[in-house]
Amino acid sequence: MLAPAVFVLLWSTGFVGAKYGLPDAEPFTFLALRLLIAGSLLALAALATRTRIDRTHAARAAVSGVLLHATYLGGVFWAIAHGTPAGVSAVVVSLQPVLVAALALPLLGERLAPRQWLGLALGISGVLLVVAPHLGGDVPLAGLMSCLVALAGGTAGTLWQKRYGDGIPLLWGTSVQYAVATAVLAVASLAVEHQHISWTPRFVGALSWLVVVLSLGAVLLLMVLLRRGTASSVSSLLYLVPPATALEAWLLFDERLTVASTVGVAVTALGVALAVRGVSHHDRVDQDGPQLA
C-alpha cells in the first residue's frame, strides 16, 4: 500500500515543477533536456548491471516513450506554458482512468467489478470538486486541445505498457523510452521553439527535481506498479494527483483550499479506494486475452 501513495505524492509534484521551471525555458526544450539527462543516467545504471535489451523489447519501449513521455508530458507542459491553469491541465489528464477502464476490457481482457465502476465515478466527481474553483477564468482553446492530446497519449501509453511491457528490462526499457522521447521532443523544439534557457537557480532546481524525483523515481515506480496491478487500477491512482497538487499548492504557495476542494479530496480518496482494490485472477479473461502480471 505504500508504493501507490509514494507514486501519487511524487507524480503530483510534476505540476509544481512545471510551474517553477517553465518561465525560464520553452516546454519542448525543457522536456528534451530533462529526459536526455534522465535517460543518460539510466543508461549508465543499466550498463553497470551488465544486462541487455533485445530489438523487440527496445521497439516496444520506444512506442511507450513516444506515448507516455513525448505526447503526455509534451502536451501538459505546452498547455501550462501557453496559459492553461495547472489545475485545469490536471483535471483533464486525470480523466485517463475512465478511458483506460473503458478500453481495458476489449484490449486487455480486464473486468471491472461494479464497486470499481462506482469508484471511477466518484473519482471524477471528486476531481471536479477540487478543480472547480480554477475553472472560472479564461482557458485557451489551444491549451485544452493540448491537454486532450496528452490525455490520449497517456491512456494509450498505459494500455501499451501493460500489454507489452512485461519482460522488458526496467532500466534499459525506461532508458530507451527517454531516448526516443528526447528525439521526438528535440524535433518539436527545433520546429517551433528557439531553444533558449535561462539558467536561473529556480530553473536548475526545477530541472533537478523533475529529473531525479519524477523521471527517475516516479516513472520507474509507475512501471513497477503496472507490472503488479491491472492497467485500470494503476491508472486510477491518477485521480489523487489533482487533490495532492491542490494540497501542495496550499502548502507551498498559500493558495486557499475551498470547502468544495476539501470535500473533493475526500470523495476522490474514496473513489480511488474502491477502484484500486485488487482484482482477483477470476476477474481476468486469460483464455482469449493477454496474460496479465
Report the 10 Å Cβ neighbour count for 19.
Answer: 16
pLDDT at 235: 63
**C-alpha Rg value of the chain to the nearest Å:** 18
8 Å CB contact between 86 and 245:
yes
Domain boundaries, the chain: 2-281
In this prediction, residue 257 carries a pLDDT of 66
Partner residues linked to 110 by β-bridges:
284
- For 182, the 3-state DSSP assignment is helix
Residues 98, 167, 61, 175, CA torsion sign: positive
pLDDT digits (tens, 9 = 90+) for 104-115: 666 656 666 777
Q: 259-275 vs 114-131: helix axis angle to the nearest 10?
A: 160
**Residue closest to 272 by CA, chosen among 220, 229, 227:** 229
- pLDDT at position 128, please? 76
What's the grid cell of residue 206? 526545477
Distances (CA, A) of 66 to 44, 154, 186, 210: 21, 10, 12, 18
List of residues 6+ apart from 202 with CB closer than 8 A: 20, 21, 23, 24
Q: Please, what's the b/e burial string for 227-265 (b: 16 or more CB within 10 A of its CB; e: otherwise)?
A: bebbbbbbbbbbbbbbbbbbbbbeeeeeeebeeebeebb
Cβ–Cβ under 8 Å, residues 89 and 80: yes
**Within 10 Å of residue 39's Cβ, how many Cβ atoms?**
24
Report, as ranges of residue numbers, the positions in the chain whose pLDDT lies below 70. Answer: 1, 87, 101-102, 104-112, 131-139, 229-236, 238-239, 253-257, 261, 273, 275-293
Looking at residue 242, its amino acid is: P
pTM flag (> 0.85): no
pLDDT of residue 256: 66
- Dihedral (Cα; 270, 157, 103, 90), 10-degree rounding: 40
- In this predicted structure, what is the pLDDT of residue 279? 44
* pLDDT tens digits along 111-156: 667 777 787 788 778 777 776 666 656 567 788 889 889 999 988 9
